[in-house]
């Protein structure tokens, strides 16, 4: 039979078994922070519940003191009755043991006696605890403890767990008492039914031996029923006391918050302010250090390895000093709960950082300017070249042509490689306002560009947006940096004698004379006419005209004008402009006929 469910809550010794696995992923820093905040709030509620109850009940203190004393006396009386029942049960069990002839039955009776002795001892302890109002175990002599690193780690976590248990002790005790009352009710009903059944058998049976055995069982079960009823009454009294001492949720929360900011919240605020102030002071000293270096003709472009090393060491030392100051404030406040939670929090951060030590090593090399990416070198990121301006916790990149500066964390350039560059290297194929041709699309004017997208406006107002990666893959042609027009013009084979001699010069002179009347004539850098090729139906000339980028927006118009002038020159000089012809050969006749002659003969 299980022992009492009404025993008061004892704080157990916490044992924590920590197993560290190399494959276990690091806990999230945010999760640790949230857990610590929850522990802070719960600890404050637990710590302030007792003062809140005292304030709420201070007006009715005398009356409540009398009521509590009466309830205590009732509980002590119930315990005495329970002890009396246990004594009788022990006496009957011992008597039964003496008259038993079976070894198996004696073993069972010995176990029952052991349980009854333990219950009797526990009732004596409970009587002392309820009468004195304190735990007698607090005054017991403690055994010497041996050192164990697991126990030491457990002692670090122990304040937080104790605060959580203290916060939920009332709810857990109420839950256990309710469960105990339900179980004891069922057991007492069952014991009552057993006693009634035994009494019925005594009244109805006429067998002397049966009556004798039933009479022997009746006192035992009567004691069991009384003991269960005493336990039930005691549990109900404890539950009623807990209900009487309860405060409303609003009162408990307001008292907890108020007390938190008076005591523990004040310590936590001071510790955090100390942490921030130390960081700010260290930052101010660092700025003074930089000013001194500037007075010594120091510039950012000449940062040596030693200066960079001092920079990193100073930053690390400032963080260590700030954390130490936070611990020192909590130590002076003697708030071991906050101190242990702060240690656990920073231990979690350190454990998380441990997983990223290789990346931290790479970042340290980059900050010392001895890594794969270095300042004042060319770096390709997102498909766009950048000049590395500075490398720090946040790196600064610049593209002179785009006119954009990026501020990115150092993690993004870990694993990349930079290289020295020449001043002649372009940083982007075009700039804002340039006219470009992308693939087979019509020319367009660049109206906006960045490392993300390039926007063009074509003639007529059509806007086309290219992602920068696709724009660069199509190898855009920039017309604003000077361009060349190639105009092919064909003449008849009847001019074969002069096509490579005088005709190119005549056509070039005619084009130059016509161009002098145009407003864009000054933008023409050179004009040449050369023989190009002997085509199937014509002898082709090619006009090569180079222009400045200022007229890139009308390059198609200029090309059409040059075509028109070529036709006008042919008309003035009576040059035949051929068209595609088809030559037919008749069977038995070696003389080829042109398409026109064959058509006339077919008609006739």
Find the distance separating the first CA and the last CA of the chain, reported in whole Å: 133
519-529: average pLDDT: 89
Residues 428 and 401: beta-carbon distance below 8 Å = yes
Q: Which structural domains are found in the chain, ordered by start?
A: 29-55+65-134+150-259 (no CATH), 263-355 (no CATH), 435-478 (2.30.30), 483-572 (3.30.300)
Q: What is the pLDDT of residues 40-70, one digit of tens each?
A: 444 443 344 344 343 444 445 556 566 777 7
The sign of the CA dihedral 409, 415, 420, 425 is negative
Distance CA 95, CA 524 (A): 132
**More confident: 103 or 280:** 280
Residues 47 and 172: beta-carbon distance below 8 Å = no
Residue % of the chain over a pLDDT of 70: 73
Distance CA 114, CA 97 (A): 13
Q: What is the pLDDT of residues 531-548, one digit of tens each?
A: 999 988 899 999 999 999
Say if residue 260's pLDDT is above 70.
no
Q: What is the pLDDT of residues 137-175, one digit of tens each?
A: 656 555 555 656 566 666 666 666 666 666 667 777 778
Distance CA 4, CA 232 (A): 9
Extended beta strands in 241-390, E state: 378-381, 384-390
Give the CA distances from residue 62 to residues 56, 69, 303, 482, in Å, rounded to whole numbers and listed in that order. 13, 11, 78, 104
Give the CA distances from residue 429 to residues 233, 376, 472, in Å, rounded to whole numbers and listed in that order. 92, 21, 8
The pLDDT of residue 50: 40
Distance CA 544, CA 372 (A): 48
Distance CA 184, CA 509 (A): 123
Predicted TM-score of the model (pTM): 0.47
Lowest mean pLDDT among 179-193, 205-219, 276-290: 205-219
The pLDDT of residue 79: 76
Alpha helices in 138-148 (DSSP H): none
Q: In degrees rounded to 5, what are phi and psi of residue 531?
A: -70, 135
Q: What is the pLDDT of residues 330-385, one digit of tens each?
A: 888 877 777 777 887 887 787 777 777 777 788 888 888 888 898 889 999 888 99
Please tell me what DSSP assigns to residue 373.
S
319-331 burial, b at 16+ Cβ within 10 Å, e below that, comes to eeebbebbbebbe
Residue 507 pLDDT class (50, 70, 90 cuts)? very high
């Amino acid at each position: 039979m299980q022992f009492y469910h009404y025993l008061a809550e004892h704080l157990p010794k916490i044992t924590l078994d920590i197993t560290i696995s190399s494959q276990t992923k690091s806990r999230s820093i945010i999760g640790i922070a949230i857990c610590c905040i929850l522990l802070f709030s719960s600890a404050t509620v637990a710590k302030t519940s007792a003062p809140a109850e005292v304030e709420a009940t201070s007006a009715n203190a005398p009356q409540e003191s009398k009521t509590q004393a009466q309830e205590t006396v009732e509980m002590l009386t119930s315990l005495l009755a329970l002890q009396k029942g246990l004594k009788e049960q022990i006496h009957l069990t011992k008597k039964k043991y003496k008259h038993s002839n079976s070894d198996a039955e004696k073993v069972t009776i010995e176990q029952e006696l052991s349980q009854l002795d333990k219950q009797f001892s526990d009732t004596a302890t409970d009587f002392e605890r309820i009468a004195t109002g304190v735990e007698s175990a607090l005054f017991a002599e403690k055994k010497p403890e041996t050192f164990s690193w697991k126990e030491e780690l457990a002692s670090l976590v122990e304040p937080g767990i104790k605060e959580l248990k203290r916060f939920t002790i009332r709810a857990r005790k109420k839950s256990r008492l309710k469960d105990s009352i339900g179980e004891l009710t069922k057991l007492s009903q069952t014991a009552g039914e057993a006693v009634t059944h035994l009494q019925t058998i005594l009244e109805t049976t006429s067998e002397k031996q049966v009556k004798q055995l039933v009479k022997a069982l009746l006192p035992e079960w009567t004691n069991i029923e009384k003991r269960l009823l005493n336990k039930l009454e005691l549990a109900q009294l404890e539950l009623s006391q807990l209900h009487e001492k309860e405060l409303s949720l609003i009162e408990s929360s307001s008292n907890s918050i108020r007390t938190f900011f008076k005591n523990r919240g004040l310590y936590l605020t001071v510790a955090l302010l100390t942490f921030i102030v130390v960081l700010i002071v260290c930052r101010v000293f660092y700025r003074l250090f930089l000013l001194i270096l500037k007075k010594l003709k120091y510039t950012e472009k000449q940062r040596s390895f030693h200066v960079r090393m001092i920079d990193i060491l100073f930053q690390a030392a400032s963080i260590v000093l700030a954390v130490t100051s936070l611990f020192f404030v909590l130590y002076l406040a003697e708030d071991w709960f906050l101190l242990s939670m702060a240690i656990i929090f920073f231990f979690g951060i350190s454990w998380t950082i441990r997983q990223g030590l290789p990346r931290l090593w790479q970042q340290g090399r980059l900050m010392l300017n001895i890594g794969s990416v270095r300042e004042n070198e060319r770096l390709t990121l997102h498909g766009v070249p950048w000049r590395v301006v500075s490398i720090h916790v946040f790196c600064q990149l610049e593209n002179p042509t785009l006119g954009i500066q990026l501020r990115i964390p150092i993690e993004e350039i870990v694993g990349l490689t930079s290289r020295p560059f020449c001043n002649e290297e372009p940083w982007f194929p075009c700039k804002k306002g340039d006219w470009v041709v992308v693939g087979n699309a019509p020319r367009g004017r660049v109206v906006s560009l960045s490392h993300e997208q390039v926007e063009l406006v074509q003639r007529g107002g059509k806007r086309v947006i290219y992602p920068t990666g696709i724009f660069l893959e199509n190898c855009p042609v920039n017309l604003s940096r000077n361009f060349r027009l190639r105009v092919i013009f064909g003449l008849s084979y009847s001019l074969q004698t002069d096509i490579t001699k005088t005709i190119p010069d005549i056509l070039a002179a005619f084009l130059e004379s016509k161009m002098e009347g145009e407003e864009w004539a000054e933008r023409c850098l050179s004009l040449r006419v050369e023989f190009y090729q002997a085509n199937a139906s014509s002898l082709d000339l090619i006009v090569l005209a180079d222009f400045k980028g200022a007229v890139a927006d009308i390059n198609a118009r200029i090309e059409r004008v040059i075509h028109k002038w070529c036709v006008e020159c042919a008309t003035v000089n009576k040059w035949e402009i051929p068209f595609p012809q088809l030559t037919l050969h008749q069977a038995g006749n070696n003389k080829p006929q042109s398409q026109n002659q064959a058509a006339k003969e077919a008609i006739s």
